[in-house]
Amino acid sequence: MNTAFLAVAAYLIGSVSFAVIVSRAFGLPDPRTYGSGNPGATNVLRSGRKSAAVITLLGDTFKGWIAVWLAAHFATPGAAELTVALAGALSVIGHMFPVFHRFQGGKGVATALGVLFGFNLYLGLGAAGTWIIIAVFFRMSSLASITAAAFASFATWMFYGFSHPFFASVTVVALLLIYRHHANIKKILAGTENKFGQKAKI
């Protein structure tokens, strides 16, 4: 029962869309109506308000971390790892399909990063470092996110092995994240993907 309660709580936490909330607070258009249509920090940045994008990034990352932290501290003894793994995955799923925002969510990159930091500091640092390296060289958030997702799954296997709940959790999230970028993948292959510095028409 405790595991189920914490899993549902994690989904509800993930369902809070900081991109939508912050945009409303700053008087910006709904991020689902311009640019990529994705309610996330990268699309909010296209509005030209860097402060709004930073707050969105921090908020979405924090909710992934806090969902894992709560699960780790309140899980039933003996089921902690499974509970934490479920909470991590469901917080990202909540971000992607938020019940509070008509299930129109983001791609889950920042929230997934928060989950990784909650699982293991080195997993979070590794994924963040991978994202930064790819973003700097190719100037594409989507490519950086896809690469970091693949790295996260591999790194989790290296840390914990195939049988650990964390590996299943991170791999499911990575696959969902890559799937949510399917339109971006087509654009990358076609050479038409947006790069940093391109402002959206809003």
Q: Which residues have CB under 8 Å from 199's CB, separation 6+?
A: 46, 48
Across the chain, mean pLDDT equals 93
Q: How far is CA 124 from CA 21, 127, 186, in A?
A: 25, 5, 27
d(CA 145, CA 76): 33
pLDDT for res 80:
96
d(CA 112, CA 88): 8
pLDDT digits (tens, 9 = 90+) for 135-194: 999 999 899 999 999 999 999 999 999 999 999 999 999 999 999 999 999 999 999 998
> What string of DSSP letters covers 80-108?
HHHHHHHHHHHHHHHHHS-GGGTT-----
pLDDT digits (tens, 9 = 90+) for 112-137: 999 999 999 999 999 999 999 999 99
d(CA 141, CA 127): 13
pLDDT for res 62:
98
pLDDT digits (tens, 9 = 90+) for 1-43: 699 999 999 999 999 999 999 999 998 888 988 877 889 888 8
8 A C-beta contact, residue 125 and residue 150: no
> What string of DSSP letters covers 152-170?
HHHHHHHHH-TTSHHHHHH
CA angle 115, 89, 118 (to 5 degrees): 20
pLDDT for res 49:
86
> What string of DSSP letters covers 15-70?
T--HHHHHHHHTTPPPGGGSTT---SHHHHHTTT-HHHHHHHHHHHHHHHHHHHHH
How many CB atoms are closer than 10 A to CB 182? 8
